[in-house]
Chains A and B, each alone.
Chain A
């Protein structure tokens, strides 16, 4: 499926000040029984968000009315664990378009990018600043500009560059996805196979 184009996003943020958030927290395995991609957002961070009787836990940040927005800000090593793309689907389906952290797990990063969810890796210091600002003022806004690869705090203008491969950047800016690209390479791939079997 072509992915949604991403250029600039200005939004409030939701702070999840926890390190090593793994894919089993993002979407517990018992919710992976679906055969479609939709609807995973309902169970995002399920066991942090709801108690065993299905009631919302007030103290979890997603349930805190003070925080909202399309940017999730999380502690270091976000998305570790399984390769389940359901984690990226759940975050996207919930409504986030950017995840900010000081460190991402590899497979999660790929999965996110393949679904139009932008992982923005910032320095440890900048992450701390963002958390501090959000604690002081929950309405703190971030601006993420993919073209210039810049993320900034709108309150004080503090900004930082972030990395993304040129290829993935083009894909996101234009809404391309990898499968179209690969399918167009079929002749080259077949040639590779023939050469290889000799």
Chain B
């Protein structure tokens, strides 16, 4: 039999049929929805007079548009409230499981899927959200779709997709002190650019990846979309199985062993071919930071912003425009620069491991006076866990407070907006113009680097503090 990649194995086993010179009809095992990209899909079904085909395969949460304080009160913003209410109504009408505000399972869609065991190896998972790629950390095919496609999946449990090309990114070696999986992925994107993965599905491999915890693997897969890829995945192993054991929706004792047998086959065959391969050295990676307005504009935190003449001619205008927006000069350094805001959270770095890393560094220190910090857990469970472990007390003692779960300043749909011109050191995934609020200037970093900035008030190498 022909050697196959892990991606091929999962994809091929989910193809219901193929349209000649067209896309495949791909069967979807799990469909996650949230309040922002689902209402028009439900409205479309209604207009066509179609039922939801497999409501039991859908799980809903409210996350993008929710306040991160006083969640017990009605949402103040009228439009946000309406959007969240529309989700509640639609889930009621169609019998869809909803983990809405204040539900113990509520949280950012890509945080709750894994932590509840809804996300499992070998599945196909979609959501009307590009960071669905996060789930690929468990060895499945997970990708973001548009609202028309959300409607498609609701109507038929299938989506029409052309099969992407395959890329493998291998990272070998050991990570240095103060370097985390966020730095790995920012490093990779800085090397292959914000569009270098377009048209591909990526498999991450190598010892630097397999040594990572599940949460760290999710951070890597989460940002595969930031290089333009449809998604990223990592072959499941003991770390994966260990993580999933005993989770709310993981296979129970009876079917666990059977699932394990199936999951263990989910590996890329030895001689399987990829359309493109990259190999990196973990030793080359240091704490990273972005200096521009796309995630590919990243560098070592102690590095220099590229000079204009090192940028291809046709891209110089866009490059300069981006630096103008950020208020930076070509060739300059960012280390030591004063910043205004620190945001810890999002589906990239809003998990318990991230809060632990942040807390560990700020413990016994104090927040810099001029810093406004938003520490936002990715889910209710993360929030509870942070309290149980005493992280909240550490944070409070250092002058921080733990907010309530949601997407928050990652996309600033709620009240958590960075003001115009202010610098925000953020653990989220996008530094686009205005992403964190109109005029906001975002610098993407790891939770450790965010912690270093929060206590010094400046861009600081976390390696200097631990």
Contacts and interface: CB of A to CB of B under 8 A. Distances in A.
A80 interface: yes
B195 A107 contact: no
A37 B40 contact: yes
Contact of A185 (B17, B164, B438): B17
A6 B314 CA distance: 32
B16 A188 contact: yes
B412 A29 contact: yes
Interface in B150-168: 151-152, 155-158, 160, 162, 164
Interface in A68-93: 75-77, 80-86, 88
B22 A168 contact: yes
Give the residue among B86, B420, B432, B438 with the most A Cβ atoms within 10 A.
B432
A24 B20 CA distance: 35
Given A35-B82, A110-B149, A167-B22, A84 B37 contact: yes
A140 interface: no
A156 interface: no
B70 interface: no
Interface in A140-198: 165-168, 177-179, 181-183, 185-186, 188-189, 192-193, 196
A35 B27 contact: no
A110 B146 contact: yes
Given A83-B128, A186-B53, A47 B433 contact: yes
Given A25-B434, A36-B43, A182-B155, A111 B144 contact: no
A115 B86 CA distance: 23
Nearest to B29: A196
B83 interface: yes
Given A17-B317, A24-B430, A47-B434, A106 B228 contact: yes
A35 B86 CA distance: 8
A103 B199 CA distance: 11
Given A85-B37, A183-B155, A29 B435 contact: yes
B199 to A, nearest CB: 6
A81 B294 CA distance: 9
Contact of A83 (B79, B129, B430): B129
A182 B79 contact: no
Nearest to B199: A106
Interface string A46-79: 0100001000000000000000000000011100
B290 to A, nearest CB: 13
B130 A32 contact: no
Interface of B: 16-17, 19-23, 25, 27, 36-37, 39-40, 43-44, 47-48, 50, 53, 64-65, 77, 79-80, 82-83, 86, 128-130, 132, 144-149, 151-152, 155-158, 160, 162, 164, 194-195, 198-199, 228, 230, 293-294, 314-315, 317-318, 321, 411-413, 417, 420, 430, 432-435, 438-439
26 contacts: A17-B317, A18-B321, A20-B195, A22-B294, A24-B411, A24-B435, A25-B432, A32-B413, A33-B65, A35-B82, A47-B434, A77-B198, A80-B294, A81-B430, A84-B37, A85-B146, A103-B195, A110-B146, A115-B148, A165-B21, A166-B22, A185-B16, A188-B17, A189-B25, A189-B27, A189-B156
